[in-house]
Structure 1
């Protein structure tokens, strides 16, 4: 374990790597699905040489460099090298294209990007719209692609041939990176993340899943997000344990990877957990070393299947955001399916407040989850180029997550939904997620989204609408679905409208864009109230 893990003035993942490289240089750290591998010593040496490489290209402390790459050892080298230099890494989601990619490149004013050759076409397609971009560092062959003449195209080097570098490292308060939020209701915002903030994700994970020297982490979530990079890979640097990272998530490879690499801990999201559980059962489902899965949200039916089918002992959850770290974690041996967990009180304060008045609400009552840090630089430093948004989110000296939740007398926090996705009807707040869980359990339904549409009754607030994706070959009747679902829902939560769609609009990270569905309105939908009339 990193010797300075309790000292916030040394919360630096690059410093943790340097300590490991000194203590156990030959110990394996990172293996990837493309055949790459790094010991702690190799990772540290490569990071120093990468820092010098970037500096010779003109990158300075505080300078911003984009990383547009798939998971792997090269990703880790770019990230750690920029971090060691004291530069700011701008992580770009590999699914971004066209206007989504342009927005982040322009907003962060990037003039240098490291890109996997496979993703180069996405950059060249918008080259004329990002005039600041001048230096493009390519990993892999370009296959004679025609590239803009103004670009300086640089090949990713062989690190064994690069000179050593010994410049000063960063401070905990320096901005390590910018990660962009999903932007479901508007352009995504860049979150300024200090080095200490990045390290604190891993510190919380170590405490939550009780990592020891015997553990091995499986990272199948993207490294351009905080879960994969900091909650998992960062935790391995702090704990001094090995990790296996898959280039992209694969439900069909999940169990075989875990078995082959003898991993003991992994993280999932609700959607990825669902994909895994939909894989056909097999005789080797329990032939593995996996002892704990951290998944958010932790649906009760998912937890039951991980226990019963795969024999995983502990399923834990948590709640957090890129902006606020992970202030709420589950606990090994104290699973509460559906709940997020308890406040990590050593480093955070959490309360549930009225979203209109910011007044603290009684235990058990739903309100907005508010968070603030107890330690310096363990939180975002603000939104990049958006001071007004930063102030708005920080009103009354609490960060407003925009998420609805409850807190019980014992401090157990349950995430309910995004507040803007909470439907208000007949004086009651309705969780879209809770409606979706009921409808999704009905036969013949592949996916469902519940969302608010305006009521035609004065003072009626919202009506509930469903967008449904049928399973292949399913013959569904909208009225029957609404009638069956309504039998399992409170009266105030019964859907009025239903529409069949080929697919739900989603962000690059798989989140349903309810804002897009709301904008489409009720055109083409079945109105069960009109039908009844």
Structure 2
């Protein structure tokens, strides 16, 4: 375990890495399936080399560097190397394209972007809109000497990560080093991770779950991680078995995809001792325990902005709940969303959070001081999620109160979807909203209600085809309904709840080939 594990002044990525390299040397830190491995000593050495290479190309402490890389050794080297400089990594979803991508690259203020493979084409398409942005070439980092500049502080921004907006485009969350570290420490405390564990990481590293809750937890604990380039439900158990993995996380529909795999006689033949699935409905927990023979099933709740303040407890089965407060590091309450008054146990309200240690939260939304202040009203961070706390302190997530859609582990901004669809000729108005995906645990599907312009004739299939051209894959609608008008309030705001309640009808177009 990192020797300064609980000293928040020492929650700094390069300091953790150097300490673990000194202590563990040739122990394997990371294995990337199909690519190779890194020891702790090699990871530290290569981080210093990548840092020197980036510094030689003009990257300075505090600079934002946009990164569109798949899961792999280069992503990890760059994360560690930028951390050594004290630069700010901006991990961008490799599936973004068009306006979605251009917004994040412009908004983050990065001068350089690092990308390879398919994402290179998406970046090339938007570069004409971003004349100040240059593509940084990682080639040649192996010849660079080790970087020996000063270390960043726990309060310095380490990461700028985007999360979906509601009334506007995606917002950049400013994440200090201490905040990023606390994601990993929470996993260690919530899941009992030790240096004997092997963490199976199948989520993308451009999300906090994969990068911080899992990979950073591995680093802090002095454990080892096995990284799959892309999640595969059919390979999930065989990977875990082959590599002797003992702990893993799943998010959203990933659980449903794994549980839906055909049962096999060897489903219980593995070393997995704990799994952290979010959400964790009762039917899934039964499958994890009875079919797969996993001893511990622990759920959690959090956001990019507020870390992971709720975890289940080892040895305590509470399927369907988000967990108890990690009260060493956080305060969590359920309050009236209008008055901010504390609600008694059993009443549904808004989940509100605040940290107990300096820089254990985000420091704000990049370039959005008003949004930052609004989120922190009355010195509580307003998550926009409704929940209920029982007499024993267990919190159950009820619903999203924000106008946000969650699909396949991605938060989708309805505003950005609507903006993209509104550019199609013949569209007068459009509303994007979430409807149930159908299967338990698979989160949301995206649905559009589209109002044609006067005299225009809109076909749902044409709307969907336009969506496929301009939206990233995870944000594309499954359902489209052409309507005469959108339900609105007296102040002309769209009544999204009314649309969500009505959901799929007999007239709804479904891209899976059948009517509602």
TM-score for both structures, normalised by structure 2: 0.81
Counterpart mapping for 1:285-304 below 5 A: 285-304=267-286
Shift of 1:157: 2.4
Q: Distance in 1 between matches of 2:366 and 2:212?
A: 20
Change (3 A) 1:333 1:296: same
Q: Which residue of 2 aligns with 1:367?
A: 349
Cα gap change, 1:516 to 1:60, in 2 (>3 Å): farther
Query: 2:422 — aligned with what?
Result: none
Cα offset for 1:512?
A: 9.1
Q: Is the 8 A contact 1:421 1:451 kept in 2?
A: no
Task: Tell me the distance in 2 between the aligned counterparts of 1:184 and 1:509.
Answer: 19
Which residue does the alignment assign to 1:95? 95
Cα displacement string for residues 98-123 of structure 1 (whole angstroms, at most 9, x for unaligned residues): 11100100111222011123321111
TM-score (norm 1): 0.78
Runs of 4+ that moved beyond 4 A: 446-453, 504-524
The whole-number CA distance in structure 2 between the counterparts of 1:97 and 1:305 is 37
Q: Which runs of 5+ in 2 are unaligned?
A: 405-432, 450-463, 487-493, 508-516
Look up the match of 2:330: 348
Match of 2:283, SS?
Answer: helix
CA 1:118–1:526 in 2, change beyond 3 Å: closer, same or farther? closer
Q: Give CA deviations for 1:196-223 in whole Å, capped at 9, x if unaligned.
A: 0000011110011111222100000111
In structure 2, what is the equivalent of residue 249 of structure 1? 231
After superposition, what is the alpha-carbon deviation per residue over 1:457-512, rounded to whole angstroms, capped at 9, x for unaligned?
A: xxxxxxxxxxxxxxxxxxxxxxxxxxxxxxxxxxxxxxxxxxxx99x999969589
- 1:33 equivalent in structure 2: 33
Bigger Cα Rg: 1
Deviations 1:366-390 (A, max 9, x none): 0000001110000000000111110
Structure 1 residues 450 and 220: CA distance shift in structure 2, 3 A: closer
C-alpha contact (below 8 Å) 2:65/2:110 kept by paired residues: yes
Question: Shift of residue 448 of structure 1?
Answer: 6.8
Q: CA deviation at 1:297?
A: 1.0
1:130 counterpart residue number: 130
Q: Could you list the runs of 5+ residues in structure 1 that have no partner in the other structure? A: 138-153, 423-431, 454-500, 528-533
Matched, 1:199 2:174: no
Q: State the Cα distance separating 1:34 from its structure 2 match.
A: 2.7
Identify which of 246, 250, 253 aligns with 1:264: 246
The equivalent of 1:81 in structure 2 is: 81
Contact 1:221 1:227 (8 Å CA) reproduced: yes
| Segment of structure 1 superposing worse, 269-278 or 510-519 | 510-519
C-alpha contact 2:281 2:319 (8 A) present in aligned 1: yes
CA contact (8 A) 1:175 1:194 kept: yes
- Tell me, in whole angstroms, the C-alpha distance in 2 between the residues paired with 1:208 and 1:411: 16
Check conservation: 1:50, 1:78, Cα contact below 8 A.
Answer: yes
SS of 1:38's partner is strand
1:182 to partner: Cα distance:
2.8
Aligned position for 1:461: none
Relative contact order, CA 8 A, sep 6+: which one is greater? 2
Deviation track 1:505-525 (CA, whole Å, cap 9, x = no partner) reads 999695898999887967994
- Displacement, 1:184? 5.7
Deviation at 1:397, TM superposition (A): 0.7
Match of 1:23 in 2: 23
Find out whether 1:173 has 2:180 as its counterpart: no
Quote the residue 1:157 is aligned against: 140
Residues 173 and 231 of structure 1, relative CA distance in 2, 3 Å threshold:
same
Contact 1:507 1:513 in 2 (8 A): no
Q: Check whether the contact 2:32–2:226 (CA below 8 A) recurs between aligned residues.
A: yes
What is the CA–CA distance in structure 1 between the aligned matches of 2:446 and 2:128, rounded to whole Å?
Answer: 39
Quote the RMSD (CA, aligned, Å). Answer: 3.0
Mapped pair 1:72 → 2:55: no
